Amino acid sequence: MQPEEKEMLKKTLELAQENNKMLHKIRHSLFWGRIARIAYWLIIIGTAVGVYYYISPFIDSAINAYGNVKGDLKSFGDLFKVN
């Protein structure tokens, strides 16, 4: 093997090793990026479910109050209805 060929082979090996290290770093950062994205969405969805769980009694009471007022207005309107 010629000295030039050995030098080219050595440079190729160094480049392959460097590429391998960079690929491992990229894969590592993609993995942690996915973990962070999943955690982000779990926090958002969990917060939304928690807020709904906390606010649902207030919403139910407001809906019941609206129904009561609606029924009262209907019965009040029936008093003035002409047959």
> What is the token pair recorded at 83?
């047959």
The pLDDT, as a whole number, for residue 71 is: 80
Measured CA to CA, the distance from residue 70 to residue 67 in angstroms comes to 5
User: With 80 as the cut, is the pLDDT of residue 47 above it?
Assistant: yes
Q: CA–CA distance from 19 to each of 5, 11, 14 (Å)?
A: 21, 12, 9
Give per-residue pLDDT as tens, 59-77.
Answer: 999 999 988 888 877 777 6
| More reliable by pLDDT, 78 or 71 | 71
Amino acid at 31: F
The pLDDT, as a whole number, for residue 68 is: 86
User: With 90 as the cut, is the pLDDT of residue 82 above it?
Assistant: no
